[in-house]
Amino acid sequence: MRGCLRVRTKRSNMATALLVVDVQTALTDWLAAERRRDFLATLRELIARARAAGIPVVYVRHGDEEDLIAGTAGWEITARIAPRPDEPIVDKRFRDAFRETTLAGVLERRSVERLVVCGMQSEFCVDATIREAERRGYRVTLVSDGHATYSSDDLSEEQIRGNVHRIARGEVAEIVAAEDLFVSAAT
């Protein structure tokens, strides 16, 4: 890690990366306009602080043959949080971002031990990825206000996100608000 950094979580001296999961145009376009605006603003600020602190930002992009077809506009990372040319994008086909992808190698080359995870969809790809990351021995922090999904017939988005937090807390991940991550020691 470069510079003086305080990540207000346990064991903050570990090599850390910010993992941005499936924040793609087709997926964010399904969020209500106000929710999309707030969600992307949270991620923009989080990514900016990570970059300023010298924390690597790694993007994950889902592809399938239905809604997220490679090369289409909907498949691309949402422009408001687009990666820089030097930031890796890991393409995947399964919910788990590690399964049959280059993610493990990308993280290994950066000596990452701790992942801070944000993205879409809370109960699918975000959940599967944090579980597999923990299983592989990474310390995992889930950004409490940095993941989104859609309401179902039975549950609101808030209820779904709350369920993910309740199940993951302590066993799989530490749950931390975006404003408490990548904060300089001067503040």
Could you confirm whether 125 is annotated as catalytic? yes
Q: Which of 97, 107, 116, 125 is catalytic?
A: 125
**Where on the phi/psi map is residue 135: left (φ > 0), alpha (ψ -120 to 50), or beta?**
alpha
HSE toward the beta carbon, residue 66, CA cutoff 13 A: 2
> What phi, psi does 133 have (nearest 5°)?
-60, -45
Q: Distance between CA atoms of 90 and 106, rounded to whole angstroms?
A: 8
> What phi, psi does 164 have (nearest 5°)?
-60, -45
Terminal Cα-to-Cα distance of the chain (whole angstroms):
18
Task: Say how many residues make up the chain.
Answer: 187
* Residues 61, 20 contacting (CB under 8 angstroms): no
Task: Kindly list the catalytic residues.
Answer: 125
